[in-house]
Structure 1
Amino acid sequence: MHHLRSSAIARIIRRHSTALTGICLAAMMGQARAAGPIRAVGIENEYANVIQQIGGRYVTAGAIESNPNTDPHTFEASPEVARQIATAALIVENGVGYDGWADKIIAASPNPHRVVINVQRLLGLPNATPNPHLWYDPTTMPRVAQAVAAALGRMAPGHAAYFKANVAQFDRSLQPWYAAIAAFKAKHDGTPVAVTEPVGDYMLQAVGADIKTPFSLQAAIMNGTDPSPQDVATQNALFNRHAVKVFVYNQQVTDPLTASFLDLARKNHIPVVGVYETMPTPGYTYQSWMLAEVQALQRAVTAGVSTRSLLGAAGQRP
């Protein structure tokens, strides 16, 4: 899923393998000379945000995929991305094929002291996991935060208690999101929804929503292939027959097909909620972003209000 084109990766590796090795060696030498902040990278900015929350003043966390106005599926690495990865002491990647291009760049800049946290492996998920958007699962980030704190504690043992305390604070800060999930499920369990892709499916399942869109259609749109005419007809019928109360779509990826679904939802006065694959910035943390998504879903169900963007205009009737 979401694979970077292999030819593009090959060109990057061939052109920059020597430079990457040099960058890695320089980074190791620099770290030996100076005890500055630990350099970390979250391949997706939601992971970078959590790294920074746990690492605090002892960590500088950068993100590779961070633009909520672009399609992460079409991301292409660059020499600057390779440099960021090569100089990082800690990397958090999603796995499940979502950011597999990063593994190739990591392998081209070997560093025995680097720690790579692959969230798929951390959660014990198989490669065939159909939905790679793991950060929408309410159980994911607490595990990531703990793993980050453990890795940082090994790198900087003198600050291990600080990192552990930040994990406790992070867990507490998730409670408003969890409370919103529980409140929605208590009042609106079984709410029928349509989606374009499985981006927010883990969260929708947590709130008790009934996802009516065939997963085969979701997977086809996610992977950039043509869904079957039967699946498209099923999706269209959900709108035309008012069989769903909300339409949840990937705000970062629209094409003529998803635009036609949006148009049908509007014509049938079905509110829409835009979800993101990368954390909207500025103004959000991981936990405030997730809470905002549930609140948008709540507004859609209770007041028929659409939220297409968390970056500005929100709250429109379809």
Structure 2
Amino acid sequence: MLGRLALVPILLLGLAGCSGEDRLSGASGSKDGGSKGGVTVVATTTQLADFATIVGGDHATVYGVLKANIDPHDYEPSPADVQQLGAADVIVKNGLDLEGWFEDTIKAAAPKGQIIEAGDGIEVRKAGDEEEHPEGDPHIWHSPANAKIMVNGIEEALSKAAPEHAGAYQRNEAEYIDQLDALDAEVRGQVARLANKKVVTNHDAFGYYLDHYGLEFVGSIIPSFDTQAELSADNISDIVANIKSSGVKAVFSESSLPPKTAEAIGKEAGVKVVAGEDALYGDTLGPEGSGGDSYLKMIRHNTKALVDNLS
């Protein structure tokens, strides 16, 4: 937190030399601030940027703060992020304490646009240690049912900001909801065929997916919703013992986390570790051209990795 607080004055100095025309410039492409006209949107995560780009269509310019494979739990915002936040018509955040950097950064940005929290209206999973994570599990996007709620919230915010384009936003939302429903049915059919549904992941990020599709969470290498949580010798002993006693077939690493600890634990427990290109997309989408560069592709990739390695 001290690092984030110390960064705010630096970010403000960076803003001092920026003209109004500069504040909406960004890299080309709709998720990085490329100009498309209509409402300007800043989304804090890669998943939210994907949703906003789809709903906004030709009537939104979307800037994603987090980029592919960047850990949202330990992010430090850039001057460009602050510029975009300050100029946005709509700011979409995940909430539930995923973006620990947000409050300090938003004070520096002083935006005039509306701020919405994508987690509103979603039934939140509670943590085992509610004192450490009082707001619950922030990884809400891993259930397509939750994604539909998030997409609807974005549509409503965009329609409020630019009512002249509300019809287009609503049509885009409806088309995407149909795709999410089809995806949900597809995944449910694949997972239902599994005899062994016991899952160990790198950190506790997939609970909404596992609950939604009836998979069993045995444990995680990092026993926390937060990738920055410290791992003790007791934690390691516990997860190895759980893997051995539960009949777990594989440990699933994540694309945005180093696989070294997972590989060491998998070796000690005598099970394979799913890493590299088959690693799960947890906290972020993948880079452009990867198997997880959109929400739909991410869910399909994760499902294939799970089914292939648990069958």
Normalized per residue, the structure richer in helix is: 1
The structure 1 segments of at least 4 consecutive aligned residues displaced by more than 6 Å after TM superposition are 21-29
RMSD value over aligned CA atoms?
A: 3.2
TM-score between the two structures when normalised by the length of structure 1? 0.78
Q: 1:157 to 1:196 in 2, by over 3 A?
A: same
Partner of 2:3 in structure 1? 8
* 3-state DSSP of counterpart to 1:65: coil
> Which sections of structure 1, spanning at least 5 residues, go unmatched?
1-5, 30-34, 303-318
Query: Which aligned pairs between 1:94-105 and structure 2 lie closer than 5 A?
Result: 94-105=94-105
Tell me which amino acid in the other structure corresponds to 1:41. V
Q: Which residue of 2 aligns with 1:175?
A: 181
Are residue 106 (structure 1) and residue 106 (structure 2) matched? yes
Query: Is contact 1:200-1:275 (8 Å) kept?
Result: no
What code does the residue aligned with 1:63 have?
G
Q: CA deviation at 1:18?
A: 6.7
| Secondary structure, counterpart of 2:185 in structure 1 | helix
What is residue 290 of structure 1 aligned with on the other side?
299
Distance in 2 of aligned mates of 1:98 and 1:262? 28
Match runs of 1:63-142 below 5 Å: 63-68=64-69, 70-112=70-112, 114-123=113-122, 125=124, 128-142=134-148
Query: What SS is found at the alignment partner of 1:98?
Result: coil
Q: Distance in 1 between matches of 2:93 and 2:184?
A: 24
Residues matched between the structures, number: 289
Aligned match of 1:36: 37
- Which whole-Å CA distance do the structure 2 matches of 1:109 and 1:56 have between them? 26
Aligned to 1:219: 224
Q: Which amino acid aligns with 2:170?
A: K
Cα distance between partner residues in 2 of 1:282 and 1:85: 23
Aligned residue identity for 2:310 = V
Letter in 2 for 1:38: V
Q: Using the alignment, how far apart are the partners of 1:228 and 1:274 within structure 2? A: 24
Identity of aligned residues (%): 19
Aligned to 2:129: none
Deviations 1:202-234 (A, max 9, x none): 11222211111279x5218733213351x3223
1:248 paired to 2:252: yes
Cα 1:188–1:79, aligned 2, differ >3 Å: closer, same or farther?
Answer: same
Give distance in 2, aligned partners of 1:7 and 1:166. Answer: 42
Q: Distance in 1 between matches of 2:40 and 2:251?
A: 40
Native 8 Å contact 1:45 1:66 kept in 2:
yes
Q: Which runs of no fewer than 5 residues in structure 2 stay unpaired?
A: 25-35, 127-132
Distance 1:17 1:122 in 2: 34
Deviates more, 1:271-280 or 1:154-163: 271-280
Q: Is the 8 A contact 1:21 1:110 kept in 2?
A: no
What TM-score, normalized by structure 2, do the two folds share? 0.80
After alignment, is 184-193 or 77-86 more displaced?
Answer: 184-193
